[in-house]
Amino acid sequence: MHTGSFPRTRMRRNRRDDWSRRLVRERPLGVDDLIWPVFVQEGDNQRTPIPAMPGVERLSIDILCEEVGRAAELGIPAVALFPIVDPATKSEEAREATNPENLVCRAVRALKERVKNIGVICDVALDPFTSHGQDGLVRDGYVVNDETVAMLQKQAVVQAQAGCDVIAPSDMMDGRIGAVRDALDREGFIHTRIMSYAAKYASAYYGPFRHAMDTARNLGAADKRTYQMDPGNSDEAVREAALDLDEGADMLMVKPGMPYLDIVRRLKEELRAPTYVYQVSGEYAMLRSTADLGRLDFRAAMLEALAGFKRAGADGILTYSAVDAARWLKNG
C-alpha cells in the first residue's frame, strides 16, 4: 500500500465517478452543436432510401416538413438543404439555380411556413443544377471564376427571398463571399448570414453524397481539383478563411471533418471566428456500414466522432446523424 505523497497528483481522481467526469468535461457535446443536412426531392409523401448512405433518405417537401418539425422539437438549431434536381431541368448554364420556383426555394418557403424555431441553411453552388456536375460554369473545359460568381449572386438572392436564414457558398470560387454579401445587401437581406465553406478540400470522402445528389453520373471521370483545396495544404486553409472573413462571412466551415481536425483547430485558434465542420457522407457511411456488419457500435462511435470535432474547436457540426445524436444526448 502506497503512503505519503506518492503520487501527489492523481489524474484518475476526477475520472472515478460519472458525476465528476461530467463536471470536468472540457468541451461537452450538446444538441445545440448539431446541424442536420437533409436531401429534398420532388413529389408527395415520398421517402427514397439512399443505398450509398444507409439510414439516410431523400424526402419530399411534405415529409421534410414533418421530419424537420421533429428535429426542432429535439432542439436541433438548424437544417441544411440539398435538392435532388430533376435531370430534365439541368443545363450547362445551371439556369434552374436562379429560378425562384426551383425545388430548394419551394422547400425553404414550406419549412419557414410550417416549422418554427429552426434555422434553414442553403447550399450555394451550381453542381446540383449543371448537366456536367461541376460547381461552376465551364468554358473550354475549365470552370471559370467570375461568371460563376455572378450566377452565385443570383442564386443566393432567390434563396434569401424564399426565406433562407443562412447562405452557405460551397463552390470555392475566389471572391464569392464578398460578391454574395454585396448582392444580399443590395436586395435588403442584411440579416441573412453567410456560412462559408472556407476550407473545402478535393476529397475522396464525397462519393456517397454525389450518388445521393445524383451528380456523380454528370461529373463522370472529371474532378474538382482546380477549385477545391489540395488535401496536403494547411496554411492555404487559413488564408482562404481569413479572406472570407474579410469579405463578410459570418461563419466558417471545414469540409470534410475527421481527416481535417488539424484545420478546424488552426482556424479556431488563429481566426477566433465561429467555426463549423461537416462530417461528410463518406465519414458517415464508413461508420454506419461497419456498424451494420456488426463490427462497430454505431452510437458509441458516432458520439465519439462528434465529441472529437468539439474537442478540436468546432462550434457546430453538420452530421447526417444529427437527429439520432440529439435523441441519444437527451435520453442519456
Q: Is pLDDT above 90 for 214? A: no
Catalytic residue check, 116: no
pLDDT at 1: 52
**pLDDT cut 70: percent of the chain above it:** 98
> Which position has the higher pLDDT, 4 or 86?
86
pLDDT attached to residue 23? 77
pLDDT at 157 over 80: yes
DSSP at 119: E
* Segments of the chain assigned E as strands: 34-41, 47-49, 57-60, 78-83, 119-124, 138-139, 142-143, 166-169, 193-200, 251-255, 275-278, 316-318
Q: Tell me the CATH number of domain 28-331, given options 3.40.50.720, 1.10.3210.10, 3.20.20.70, 3.90.660.10.
A: 3.20.20.70
Mean pLDDT of 53-62: 97
The span from the first CA to the last CA of the chain, in angstroms, equals 37
pLDDT digits (tens, 9 = 90+) for 76-110: 999 999 999 999 999 999 999 999 999 999 999 99
- How does pLDDT run across 303-330, given as a tens digit for each residue? 999 999 999 999 999 999 999 999 999 9
Do the beta carbons of residue 71 and residue 309 sit within 8 Å? no
DSSP code per residue over 176-229: HHHHHHHHHHHTT-TT-EEEEEEEEB--GGGHHHHHHHT-HHHHTT---TTTSB
pLDDT tens-digit readout, 115-124: 999 999 999 9
Is the pLDDT at 216 greater than 80? The verdict is no
Is pLDDT above 80 for 6?
Answer: no
Q: Using 50, 70 and 90 to split pLDDT, how confident is the model at 228? A: very high
Per the prediction, the chain carries an average pLDDT of 94
pLDDT, position 226: 94
In whole angstroms, give the CA distance from residue 223 to residue 169: 19
Give Cα 99 distance to the centre of its chain.
Answer: 23
Residue closest to 92 by CA, chosen among 141, 129, 117, 63: 129
Is 255 designated active site?
A: yes
Q: Which residue has the higher pLDDT, 213 or 84?
A: 84
pLDDT of residue 17: 84
Is residue 63 over pLDDT 60? yes
- Among the listed ranges 20-24, 178-182, 261-265, 268-272, which one has the minimum average pLDDT value? 20-24
Alpha-carbon distance 205 to 285, whole Å? Answer: 9
For residues 6-29, give the mean pLDDT.
Answer: 83
Work out the burial of residue 45: count CB atoms within 10 Å of its CB; fewer than 13 is exposed, 13-18 middle, 19 or more buried: exposed
Cα–Cα distance measured from residue 8 to residue 2, given in angstroms and rounded to the nearest whole number: 11
User: Which residue reads 452530421 in cell numbers?
Assistant: 319
pLDDT tens, residue by residue, 113-154: 999 999 999 999 999 999 999 999 999 999 999 999 999 999
- Predicted pLDDT of residue 123: 96
User: Which amino acid, residue 173?
Assistant: M
Tell me which of 90, 255, 268, 310 is the catalytic residue: 255
Structure confidence at residue 3 as a pLDDT band (50, 70, 90): low
Largest CA distance in the chain: 79
Q: Which pLDDT tens digit goes with each residue over 240-251?
A: 999 999 999 999
- pLDDT at position 5: 66
Three-state secondary structure along 135-190?
A: CCCEECCEECCHHHHHHHHHHHHHHHHHCCCEEEECCCCCCHHHHHHHHHHHCCCC
Listed residue (129, 123, 57) closest to 88, CA to CA: 129
Confidence band, pLDDT 50/70/90 cuts, at residue 2? low
For residue 4, is pLDDT > 70?
A: no
Would you state the pLDDT for residue 237? 98
Query: Which is catalytic among the residues 200, 224, 268, 310?
Result: 200
